[in-house]
Chains A and B, each alone.
Chain A
Amino acid sequence: SQELEQSPQSLIVQEGKNLTINCTSSKTLYGLYWYKQKYGEGLIFLMMLQKGGEEKSHEKITAKLDEKKQQSSLHITASQPSHAGIYLCGADGGSNYKLTFGKGTLLTVNP
């Protein structure tokens, strides 16, 4: 079965700093999803990457997919307290649509 490993597990940054979260898959990635979750709330869709080398941006968040490395990175530029939360990556890497998710990265942004 596919496994997704996220790093780091948690991250504390000062407001205004840049940061990167990585998601590495044990198998081929057919699609990679990034979600954000506020504590005690549901999941907010950020973006989806399909092709190797694809890069997408939304406001100050950029995600890239490295197909060869079976890895995706999520980069936040000039972090703000509103970026705080849990970031989850999810992937469809099998033949039966079993979508798996990483354990999440907890981001804290100090004012």
Chain B
Amino acid sequence: NAGVTQTPKFQVLKTGQSMTLQCAQDMNHEYMSWYRQDPGMGLRLIHYSVGAGITDQGEVPNGYNVSRSTTEDFPLRLLSAAPSQTSVYFCASMGVGARGGNTIYFGEGSWLTVV
């Protein structure tokens, strides 16, 4: 997981609280994304970005906001946490170049529990 740093690693939230999951990469990658992983569901794309100032929705965007003000950072915001957002969150980055020819780097994951 070289180069992609996620914080915090563990977090417990109360329903209705807000928080931001941080993701930073130092590889100058254009592409960054957030996934959530739930039992039996695999990795589901929440939001992604192909460059600073550009973001788009993935498969499960509701309840989450993102912004990409710099190439390095891609924070994920939960505005009003709900128990359904209890999950493991992974940030990923990838260099954009030859199609399909770039390794995806993942952060180590953030375990979020909403009570």
- A residues near B (Cβ < 8 Å) are 1, 29-33, 35, 41-43, 45, 48, 50, 88, 90, 92, 96-104
Docked complex Cα distance between A70 and B90 (Å): 26
Q: Which 5 A-B pairs have the closest CB atoms?
A: A31-B100, A30-B100, A103-B42, A101-B43, A42-B108
Docked complex Cα distance between A101 and B58 (Å): 12
- Collect the chain A residues with CB atoms within 8 Å of residue B94's CB: 97, 99
Docked complex Cα distance between A98 and B46 (Å): 10
CB pair A100 B45 closer than 8 Å: yes
In residues 30-78 of chain B, which contact A (Cβ within 8 Å)? 31, 33, 35, 40-45, 48, 50, 56, 58-59
Docked complex Cα distance between A30 and B50 (Å): 17
Count, A-B residue pairs, CB within 8 A:
66
CB pair A31 B106 closer than 8 Å: no
Tell me, yes or no, whether B92 is within 8 Å of chain A by CB. yes
Report 26 cross-chain contacts, Cβ distance below 8 Å, ordered by A residue. A1-B59, A31-B99, A33-B103, A33-B104, A42-B90, A43-B1, A43-B106, A45-B106, A48-B103, A50-B100, A90-B104, A92-B100, A96-B50, A96-B56, A97-B94, A98-B45, A98-B48, A99-B45, A99-B48, A100-B45, A100-B59, A101-B42, A101-B44, A102-B42, A103-B41, A104-B42
- Collect the chain B residues with CB atoms within 8 Å of residue A96's CB: 50, 56
Docked complex Cα distance between A99 and B106 (Å): 12
Identify A45's interface contact among B90, B96, B104, CB under 8 A. Answer: B104
- Collect the chain A residues with CB atoms within 8 Å of residue B40's CB: 103
- For A32, give the chain B residue with the smallest CB separation: B100
- For B30, give the chain A residue with the smallest CB separation: A97
- For A33, give the chain B residue with the smallest CB separation: B104
Docked complex Cα distance between A57 and B59 (Å): 32
User: Shortest distance in angstroms between A35's beta carbon and chain B's nearest beta carbon?
Assistant: 8
New A-B contacts (20) at CB < 8 Å, excluding given A30-B99, A42-B106, A90-B104:
A30-B100, A31-B99, A32-B100, A33-B103, A33-B104, A35-B106, A42-B1, A42-B107, A45-B106, A50-B100, A92-B99, A96-B56, A99-B48, A99-B92, A99-B104, A100-B45, A100-B59, A101-B42, A103-B41, A104-B42
